[in-house]
Chains A and B, each alone.
Chain A
Amino acid sequence: MEPLTATAIAEAAARKALAEATVAQGIREVAAETAETIIGEQGLLQQLETIRFDSIESLAARNETALKELSQIEANRVSGAAREEAAASELMDQYPPEDGYHIERECFLRDETGKITVDPDTGESRRIDFEITKDGEIVKSVEVTSETADKTAQLAKEERVRDAGGNYIVDRRTGELVRFAPDVKTEVVRRA
């Protein structure tokens, strides 16, 4: 084998540097595009920090973690919506409008003046998933949740709100207040 000349060594070094720069530029572009598209400004800054100071392996690991979290937030939203739509469908079958029922969703509990009632302990309001009304009264109140979520605190809050006068909702069709019928309490329906 012939000995390497200084020129050949310099050319090889230049080719290596160019190749590394090209790869680095590609990584920067892909990472920046991914971050901008998927994660937004804060994620973009994190990605750029990783590119500057860390390895491609750590970048990949961070992307994988971020993508898992990203899909989780949307997965939770989709699961929650699916649970509620399934419950809505069942309630519509059980309480049809032709029998005089009307279902309102996501109504604030209000006092007799129509003002939203807040829990004296937490300062929070109370909104219930489904209120079924008939003949000017709330005849059923339903909260839909997952199979495992603890609803103790939410139901305790509702009791305090009801005790503080929050026994009405607004019928959105008429704008009129509708009162809970005596002894109607919110039922928790659990779905997968």
Chain B
Amino acid sequence: MGNGTTYDKVSWHFPDGKNCPSLGAAKVHFDVVMRWLGSQELLSPEGREAIEIGIDSDFSLTSYMLTDTGNKLLAVCYAEWARTIQYGIRPSVRLLEDCLRNIQSSNK
């Protein structure tokens, strides 16, 4: 098996998850994080291809979709960020921004 990581997936929230009100609510944080990852040039060709298709009911955020820095970032910070978000509310990416700054400064 490839050594990929699935960080998050729409179906884990809807229909598989508990207390997620709708598919739309399940997709919000994926839309936010993918736009932000794209804006920071942290997506691999597979990630850029996925974002062109859009966030649908089969969407998953995997290590294959990210650059090395993107994977380092999500490995360290994604769970922490996920704990700060609520269904149906567009979350802030401040935590991810802070985390990226820390990674970039530690690489210098």
Contacts and interface: CB of A to CB of B under 8 A. Distances in A.
Nearest to B9: A80
A157 to B, nearest CB: 8
13 contacts: A40-B84, A42-B89, A73-B87, A74-B83, A75-B17, A77-B8, A77-B13, A105-B62, A108-B53, A124-B58, A146-B16, A154-B57, A173-B2
Interface of B: 1-2, 4, 6, 8-9, 11-13, 15-20, 29, 49-50, 53, 56-60, 62, 64, 79, 82-87, 89-92, 94
A87 B83 CA distance: 25
Interface in A33-79: 37-43, 66, 69-77, 79
A150 interface: yes
Given A103-B1, A124-B57, A127-B58, 5 more contacts: A72-B19, A73-B17, A76-B18, A80-B16, A118-B53
Interface of A: 37-43, 66, 69-77, 79-81, 83-84, 88, 91-92, 97, 102-106, 108, 116, 118, 122-127, 145-146, 149-151, 153-154, 157, 172-173
A69 B2 contact: no
A146 B108 CA distance: 44
Contacts of B18: 72, 75-76
Contacts of B82: 73-74, 77
Nearest to B82: A74
A88 B18 CA distance: 23
Given A127-B60, A154-B57, A74 B79 contact: yes
A79 B2 contact: no
A73 B11 CA distance: 12
A84 B6 contact: yes
Given A72-B18, A106-B64, A66 B2 contact: no
